[in-house]
Structure 1
Amino acid sequence: MIFEVLSIILLILLCSISIYTDYKKGLIYNRVLLIIGIPLIVLNFVSIFIDRPEKLTKYILLVLISIGISIFLYMFKIWAGGDFKLFSVIILGMPYSYVLKSINDLSYIFIVLLFSFSFGYIFLIGESLVHMIKEKRSAKSIVLSSLVEFKNYLKIYVCILFFNHITDTIYSALFQNQIPVWVQVGLNIGFIVLIRKLDILKYKSVMITFLLADLILGAFSFEMFSDYRVYVTWGIIIFILMTRAMVQKYNYKEIKYTELKKGMILSTVSSISLANEKKLKFCRLSDESLDSRLAQEEVEDILIFCSQNEKYNNITIVKKIPFALFLSLATLIVIIGGNYFEFESF
């Protein structure tokens, strides 16, 4: 018990420091992860060794899955190295009893991830709304952009109805059973990727063919429009598309060139403009992903150049989401909340 208490104290300390450093500096310091993380992980492992929990195998499996998710998010540049390292320490340092606790069969460690992404999404929406209000811009372009995306969604929806009907019929004939949901989802994803790659939905003849096929096969019926859930679903989709369009529109920040720092990401437009300057060594175009973060040498090169060129007093960068902050905050909520609410264990 004492080891678990000490682990919780260290975890709260780690998250509190991470919130501060990510907010103030936009960084998660390795020395903090080492100084607090190593004792934290050791305490948790000692606690496991002493208690020898019955569900140790499940704990190990949950930890491995969590680390796998973390690696996936890092490899696909969804979060940075600092976020990856912080979450790894949280995974290995969170008391095993908390990892085994769950809400609706979802481990606390996954709840942390869910909360983190939710906080990040809310942050982006909120910040975008503030900018839109401050700049007194009309939401017309956002609405129009969302409607265009919704139109594309409906096109895919019509195709998926046809595809689902065909695959379900074939599967039922072969195996005398209904196709499993996870198989259908996997096939749908593959089908969507294929039709997007072929870029065939832009042709009216293709869409008319799919629609007629749906009507003939019975995959599509006008009775479905009498179900209110269809409209609720579409409303949610339009809302999500609108928020995404809004976030993309206000995903940039203009700063003075003197504020440029290592790790920042230039907007594509700014990077093109700078790359075209012959006197500047910087020649890398930004794709606005984590791969485009500026190195210290690049920052110094740009600072020297901008100091000699007045037209570059301001530079546009991609806004940084303080993900480590949200990750730490989510962990604090789960750890502290877990002491007040009893949930089932796996």
Structure 2
Amino acid sequence: MMLVFIFGILIIGTYTDLKYGIIPNKLIFPCILVGIVCKIFSSISINLLSDIILASVISLILFYLKIWAGGDCKLYLAIILLMPNFIIESTFYGISYIVWIPILAFLIGYFYIIGDSFYQKIKQHKKNNNLHIKARNDFIRYIKYYVVIIFINYCVNNLSKYLNIQLNTWMYLLISLGLIYLFIKIGILEEKFFILFVIMMDIYIGIINLNSLFNLKQLLIWMTIIFSSLLKHFNNDYNYEEIVIEQLKPGMILSTTSSYIFFNDKLSKYKRISDETLRSRLTESDITQIKEVSSKRDYIKTITIMKKIPFALFISLSVIVVILKGVFI
């Protein structure tokens, strides 16, 4: 019965997301409440509770990092709470099925974007410019992170041994990511002297050598990174849609180029530069300000926005895969 209920939510949520670009709260909040009540009155083990908490934390992190929207976050939380306990307790490679839902959703979304980009290329006969330069820059950035991370891991590992502190893999990962984030914020990774110093230290310590750099595994990793970068920038070329300004709706995201037009216009009250993420979603006030400028400038009648990605559909498909695997496999 609960599975039928879940399928109904997925169908309605996907429909509203595709048609209106939103997943209504009046659909999700009652489902979350029902899920909480069901879990309270069911037999909950420590492992099951920890899986639900982990999945909820992942969902909230993805929302606060603006990787997915609030509607997607709430839909996933509702599914987590409504999912039967035996499916939540099932694991694949030691990871709960409900944690696999966003992983599969992003994977499905990635292949959707690739397929749509190739379709648009065939349809538009558009030439992709400077893909190799963009991929090269991404690879240089990866090398910077790589040499710094392995140096950090070496230092943390030796410091923990010296202080007789036991750190697991997750702690090493969190410390490394935290320090990298700090270095990015203060801009030290852009300093050539710092990167050169770290590389020389890695070579002196012996972390980097010819065998570690030019083995089959490392070469495959580098090829994968370059190929992924090429695909990313190829997809970005087809990630835009031109519409008339009257079609603008709240939640849409302007391209960076379009936002600059209004930012630099003296008559415009819209003074935001779009970073083309969910942080730059338009509000009713933003749209009013854009339309005011358009009414005074004859040459501003169309605008470029980011194409809407139907992420509720990807979540729904990944939930169906998880349920089918949990029930029949």
TM-score by length of 2: 0.86
Change beyond 3 A, Cα 1:146–1:171 = same
Tell me which of 165, 177, 196 is aligned to 1:189. 177
Q: 1:144 corresponds to which residue?
A: 133
Residues 303-322 of structure 1 aligned to structure 2 (within 5 Å): 303=291, 305-306=293-294, 309-322=297-310
Coordinate RMSD, CA, aligned: 2.9
Change beyond 3 A, Cα 1:154–1:258 = same
Q: Which stretch shows the higher mean deviation, 112-121 or 164-173?
A: 164-173
Distance in 1, Cα, partners of 2:181 & 2:267 = 43
Q: 1:25 corresponds to which residue?
A: 20
Describe the SS at the equivalent of 2:107. helix
Q: Does 1:89 align with 2:78?
A: yes
Residues 203-282 of structure 1 aligned to structure 2 (within 5 Å): 205-225=193-213, 227-282=215-270
| Contiguous gaps of at least 5 residues in structure 2 | none
Q: Does 1:79 align with 2:68?
A: yes
Larger Rg: 1
Tell me which of 2, 5, 12 is aligned to 1:10. 5
Output the amino acid matched with 2:110.
Y
Q: CA deviation at 1:284?
A: 3.9
Output the amino acid matched with 1:62.
D
Describe the SS at the equivalent of 1:299. helix
Distance in 2, Cα, partners of 1:155 & 1:39 = 46
Distance in 2, Cα, partners of 1:232 & 1:174 = 37
| Contiguous gaps of at least 5 residues in structure 1 | 1-5, 342-346
Output the amino acid matched with 1:22.
D
Q: CA deviation at 1:110?
A: 0.8
Q: 2:35 corresponds to which residue?
A: 41
Change beyond 3 A, Cα 1:212–1:335 = closer
Contact 1:98 1:338 in 2 (8 A): yes
Change beyond 3 A, Cα 1:211–1:80 = closer
Q: CA deviation at 1:130?
A: 2.9
Output the amino acid matched with 2:170.
W
Distance in 2, Cα, partners of 1:310 & 1:130 = 33
Change beyond 3 A, Cα 1:38–1:308 = same
Contact 2:32 2:81 in 1 (8 A): no
Tell me which of 90, 114, 120 is aligned to 1:131. 120
Q: Does 1:65 align with 2:54?
A: yes
Distance in 2, Cα, partners of 1:198 & 1:305 = 37
Contact 2:23 2:71 in 1 (8 A): yes
Identity of aligned residues (%): 33
Change beyond 3 A, Cα 1:179–1:143 = same
Change beyond 3 A, Cα 1:70–1:213 = closer
Change beyond 3 A, Cα 1:287–1:56 = same
Distance in 1, Cα, partners of 2:172 & 2:272 = 42
Q: CA deviation at 1:230?
A: 1.2
